[in-house]
Amino acid sequence: MRPYDERLDHLLAQAARVFAERGYHSTTMRDLAAASGMSLAGMYYYTRGKEELLYLIQERCFTRVLEGARGALADRDDAPERLQAFIRHHVTFFAHHMAEMKVLSHEANVLTGDLKRRVNAIKRRYVDLLEGLLKDAAPEERPVDRSAAAYALFGMMNWIYNWYDPAGEIDPQRLADLIARIFVGGFADARSTVQGG
């Protein structure tokens, strides 16, 4: 990952906002220049074009959320607590990056070639981290069920950009706690109540 650069950070935040509002394919580099307040030449200092900008948004977000999740788990040993810490970190991170979450969800298949492979490698590490937490929290579950549970959880967490307002009645921490309670109580503690229909 590149060293922190305030202008690049600003460009990526504005590009994420415009991609989220208009969609990647409907956005031009001129739109991004206008939104960021940068010249086209200034933008091309940081990126070769629109696809690389989308890559940088995805690469930076997935890298930051992966590193943050590892940090959130670092001092915890209890399996359900570790799973809750992962959920809380994911939800609070993306509650503060709603435009990026929408872009990651809607434009996931736009990247091609090596850019797509690099982003997918980071995403795979993140999914593997969650599946490992689920294995620790519910070791008797089949691997295929843990994998399905991981994607069900991501669906629950990632869908919030459609309805959630971080400035509303439920602050990001409370939402994160609520999702953790629903999921951990449902998957890790209440398995026997639903088996056999």
- C-alpha count within 13 angstroms, C-beta hemisphere, residue 74: 7
Please state the domain extents for the chain. Answer: 51-190
User: Tell me, what DSSP letter sits at residue 161?
Assistant: G
Encode pLDDT of 73-91 as tens digits.
998 999 999 999 999 999 9
| CATH number of the structural domain 51-190 | 1.10.357.10
pLDDT tens for the 197 residues of the chain, in order = 455 588 999 999 999 999 999 999 999 999 999 999 999 999 999 999 999 999 999 999 999 999 999 999 998 999 999 999 999 999 999 999 999 999 999 998 999 999 999 999 999 999 999 999 999 999 999 999 999 999 999 999 999 999 999 889 999 999 999 999 999 887 665 444 444 33
Residue-averaged pLDDT of the chain: 90
Dist CA 114 CA 193 (whole Å): 45
* Contact (CB, 8 A) for 115 and 55: yes
Quote the percentage of the chain above a pLDDT of 70: 92
Question: What is the Cα–Cα distance from 172 to 166, expressed in whole angstroms?
Answer: 6
